[in-house]
Amino acid sequence: MPSAPMPTALFAMDPVHLPELFPPSVLGRLRELVRIDPELVVQDFTDPAAAAALAGAEILITGWGCPRVDADVLAAAPRLRRVLHAAGSVRSLLGEAVWERGITVSSAVHANALPVAEYALAAILLAGKDAFALRERFRAEAVYPAPGDYAHVGNLGRRLGVIGASRVGRRLLELLRPFDFSVSLYDPYVGPAEAAALGAVPLPLDELLRSSDIVSLHAPDIPETYRMLDRERLALIPHGGVLVNTSRGALVDHDALTDELVSGRLGAILDVTEPEPLPRSSPLYRLPNVFLTPHIAGSLGNELERLGGTVVEELARDAAGLPPAHEVRHADLARAA
């Protein structure tokens, strides 16, 4: 019996990302599973060349820079049955028509969560050693501090509060297991038994903030979490506490956080801010108790290959008649990042 023909797929993203997401080794595996033209990377579904390819596409492989997939796009793609997103959230990418037509959607958000969790772990460990402030002092004085100046330093029993059992939050909790932290978790969707299985003590948000030396933020950016760390809640974090934010700047009242950081009461390790990037006049660039990075926690460089590899794995499952391993369900969008 002849084998079934390979399905037809189409890339839709900013072309600059294609060689990073699908380097030759990954692209070669992908082309063993689908018929696809790697020279055609769609940025505008109304482009004549794109429209012709869209008409025959069964699988749409999307990434950063993909135009929105709405009812008009679907009308031009009668054979489309799967959208495989080689990036994180699909919330702003897909219109309601995608879900109404029953198209299966998969995302590489789980793969993108890994480097974010790794960054957060590194930030937490360095914050517990007060590495950033001590580095600034060492640069200024070029002498070692006195032994007594290290009394506040160390990760043994350090109280860590994790906000959000998202994919990143859960991966971080897994990475934290070998260390001697006292870990608490706030997530309104996680009960005591599940929190314990994740290695954390569940706490209400205000109690978590009061009882944490380091707070790591991993909640989704949704209306319910907008500025969840407002002025009153930031004030609950003990003096000398550190906020690690690898989620979204909108979850924190930026003006209130700036006041806390300028006063020196708190420290922060921020990979995201609001706005992003901060204006050059922001004092956060110059404060010794603030460590700013330019939104690098997510997949970058060779880590992007992991996202393309996820798409290939999903195509292999499709070829085997299996459901996607990382399906995105419409019902989950309301509380997803």
Residues forming the active site: 248, 276, 295
State how far the Cα of 260 lies from the Cα of 283, in Å rounded to an integer. Answer: 12
State how far the Cα of 113 lies from the Cα of 107, in Å rounded to an integer. Answer: 11
The two tokens of residue 301 are: 């460089």
Contact 59, 84 (CB under 8 A): yes
Contact 217, 247 (CB under 8 A): yes
State how far the Cα of 299 lies from the Cα of 125, in Å rounded to an integer. Answer: 20
The two tokens of residue 336 are: 């997803």
Contact 49, 296 (CB under 8 A): no
Please choose, from the candidates 296, 246, 245, 280, the residue with its C-alpha nearest in 3D space to the C-alpha of residue 266.
245
**What is the bridge-based pairing of β-strands 41-42 and 104-107?**
unpaired
Q: 324-333: buried (b, 16+ CB within 10 Å) or exposed (e) per residue? A: bebebeeeeb
Question: What is the Cα 284 distance to its own chain's centre?
Answer: 23
Residue with token string 């290939």: 312
